[in-house]
Chain A
Amino acid sequence: MAVATVIEEQRKSEETALITGSEAIAVACKLADVDVITAYPIRPYDTVMQYVCKLVANGEMDCEYIVAEGEHSQFEIVKHASACGARVFCGSSGVGWMYAMEALTVTPALRIPMIAMVGNRALDDPGAFGVEHNDALTVRDLGWQLVWVDNAQEALDTALIAYRVAEDRRIFLPCAISCDGAFLTHSQALVKIPSQEKVNEFLPPYNRGDLLLHPDNPITVAPQGNEDWVMEIRRQNYAAMERSYGVIKEAYADFGRIFGRSYGNPFFEEYMTDDADIVLMGMGTLSISVKVAIRQMRKEGKRVGFVRMRWFRPFAAEDLAKSLQRFAAIGVIDRDYSFGSPYLGGVLAGEVRHALYPGPGKKPPVVDFICGLGGREVTVPDVQRMAESVYNAAEGKAQPLTQWIGLRE
């Protein structure tokens, strides 16, 4: 059967494929008809590029696929391609992402709607490949949108949504989609692949408009600036990020309508929170262990809930504070670290405490758990231990503000 005929049939119906989170994002790139993709090998994100080039080689995808000589060039190339009006995709992991840092800082500043996949990986040294969230989090102040997914279906759907949001002229900010290394990048699950028709209905073509780098549009991009200009330029990014909250909500609503798959509140998932005494929070695939532990605890009469952050930037602080005030105490699971931070806590706990602090409502105690670093599993017994500590906090018993779980000590 000719490749073209197969694609034709696939276009019409929604098929199911057994694919990894990385492959799901590659499929999203194919459906989004991405124009330029640059690759450089580093595990565990590189499976997305392996799948992309397989699609290109099989004639299922038509794009410029360039293997750069390093991540710095990798991200520079797509940044420039995007400035010239190409829809782009890129990605990296761990120290590869670090190697691209100069390009990563400039990308949001220039309002480049790049979509990047970060296969979360511990930062070297030591050279572990296991998951930690610090790599993607490094750009959290720079104007990148950041979102964490916890399964392959969500990875595919979020990639399509990310293009829609990032390329919205009101936004024009890059978006990094984080997939836990190994647990999501390398495990194959059954994923529904949407039809090309529906994707075309949801995702308009990329239109760079007045910012298009083209001889017919005489502009100069990124001239030298001094203290007379920088503040205003930064203020523009602030405004774009402020607007992205609304654009994200619109995009998810449209997605639900067109694809028939609704994610509820886009910014965070709430699991069994309606009647919960306490909640745990976290990002990425640790959600599986947490949900399983919660179901077990519920059988014992412990009403625990779970809030899984999807969008880390923009951080929906008001929504989150409104939700969290209902609970007697909160436990944040940080699959990351922030040495020397207040109370030596992780990044997510810091953000959560910050979200709670200014608002008018209650401020439940927040306990921070550093867990699952370097790819170590977050186990069901770990979660039960954490819940116990949070229950203690809820009862007013002092708990260490930052606790390391699953450590050999």
Chain B
Amino acid sequence: MGRLFAIEIIYRGIFQKTLATRMSRAIVLAAHHEGKMGISFGRYGDSPERNGIPAKNFAIVATDEQTLQDGMAKYEPKEVDITICVDDTLCKGVESWAWYGLQPVNRLLKPGGTLIVTSREGPEAIIAMAHRKESPYQLSILKGTVSFSGLWVYKDDHTDVRILGAIAKILPDLFSLQSVQKAIVSEWKDELKATSAAKSYERTTSITVQPNQGNPETPYKFDLPKWHEMGEGIAIPSIPAGRNMEDPVSHAHGGFQPDRNPTFKKFSTRTMRPVVNFDTCIKCTLCWLQCPDSCFDVTPEGLYDANMQACCGCGVCEAVCPVKECVTMVNETEFSDNSSQWEDWRKDKDAYKTWLEDKIKSHPERSHGFRYRGQYEEQIPEMLEIAREK
């Protein structure tokens, strides 16, 4: 019986599709330089994928054909040696297309396996986001701004080769640094990338995460109905009409809160979320109108509260709001719950104001793909600076 290796890459659909595919392919090609064989494929993505919705890409490698086939018999590997998470907000859990409920980011990781995360956060913040695992695992953080691209454009910030270098350090039995450099040069014809991989190899470290560390919540899940329990004619109940909202202080009723999808909570589809300044809002209704997913609940006094059960963090609300800093998109790592901002504001306006100002200051701002000319040029030096830090 030969040896089987499995690596999964958890990424944001579309924005990181090319990043995931490039790494997955390079893993197979690097291992192939050492005589191993492998396959690379995606899961939980659509074709094309959906913006920001978590997806996975797998690289399965084996020392011989038969072991590879054994590994391929189950489409998604039972367990992986390494989980690569290229958006740190995905550490909160993965709720992807075609998976029901919330899947912990470390679910497939073998005991003692390594979770590699690209982030500017430190280990405490990352560990706090990830669910507890019954066995210890390793955490390795690749310091840097999370890398997002567009569908047709690739942000070539060396995230891919840095991760490949890290893999060589963490799992030398899979491939050596030399092999991955060979794969990098033959695929991308760029010696500088090979150097980046080597630098990352030098710098890669990891710490052990114990079973008592992490988010203690039980991830929500759903049981699927049996064939005879389902309605016929491929007809399903729609989301019923909503209701008015209740003010937490005055208990006045009014406004309108749509009901939400009971089985797709969208909590993990966000890499950023809007924070609203209810004091400066002029009730122009543009955020509510333009939100592609009808996320905004209308409060009794006619303000607009972004409901975190529906928000996938697209940023349109911020773009259309005419008032400066009334709606601001903030990095999802800044939040650890999905509570209603309006209710918090109603209960204590001063505390909310402080919280809001802190959130706005504490970006780093997220952006998907290329939102304006010159953005790439702005972000590269930032990345290089981080790369040069110890």
Contacts and interface: CB of A to CB of B under 8 A. Distances in A.
Contacts of A409: 226-228
A261 to B, nearest CB: 15
A16 B32 CA distance: 10
Interface in A154-195: 182-183, 186-190
A43 B45 CA distance: 12
Most chain A CB neighbours (cut-off 10 Å) among B39, B73, B74? B73
Contacts of B46: 129
A195 B228 CA distance: 54
Interface residues of B, number: 26
Interface in A121-149: 125-126, 129
25 contacts: A18-B25, A18-B28, A18-B29, A126-B234, A182-B41, A183-B75, A186-B47, A187-B39, A187-B40, A187-B41, A188-B25, A188-B28, A190-B32, A190-B37, A289-B73, A289-B74, A292-B73, A377-B74, A377-B75, A379-B73, A380-B74, A407-B227, A408-B224, A409-B227, A409-B228
A290 to B, nearest CB: 9
Interface of A: 16, 18, 43-44, 46-47, 125-126, 129, 182-183, 186-190, 288-289, 291-293, 295, 377, 379-380, 407-409
Contacts of A43: 47
Given A18-B25, A380-B74, A409-B226, A291 B69 contact: yes
B225 A125 contact: no
Interface in B41-85: 41-42, 46-47, 66, 69-70, 72-75
Nearest to B59: A188
Contacts of B70: 292, 295
A299 to B, nearest CB: 11
B366 to A, nearest CB: 28
Contacts of A293: 73
Chain A CB within 10 Å — which of B29, B75, B224, B225 has the most?
B75
A379 B74 CA distance: 6
Contacts of B25: 18, 188
Nearest to B58: A187
The 6 closest A-B pairs by CB, nearest first: A187-B41, A292-B73, A43-B47, A188-B40, A408-B226, A289-B73
Contacts of B72: 288, 292
B313 interface: no
B38 interface: yes
Given A125-B234, A288-B73, 15 more contacts: A18-B25, A18-B32, A18-B40, A47-B47, A129-B47, A186-B47, A187-B39, A188-B28, A189-B39, A190-B37, A288-B69, A289-B73, A292-B69, A379-B74, A408-B227
Most interface-central of B29, B39, B227 (chain A CB within 10 A): B39
A46 B46 CA distance: 13
Interface string B220-235: 0000111110000010
Contacts of A186: 41-42, 47
Nearest to A285: B72
Nearest to B25: A18
A291 B71 CA distance: 12
A183 B75 CA distance: 8
Most central of A186, A188, A189, A407 by chain B CB within 10 Å: A188
Contacts of B75: 183, 377
Interface in B194-241: 224-228, 234
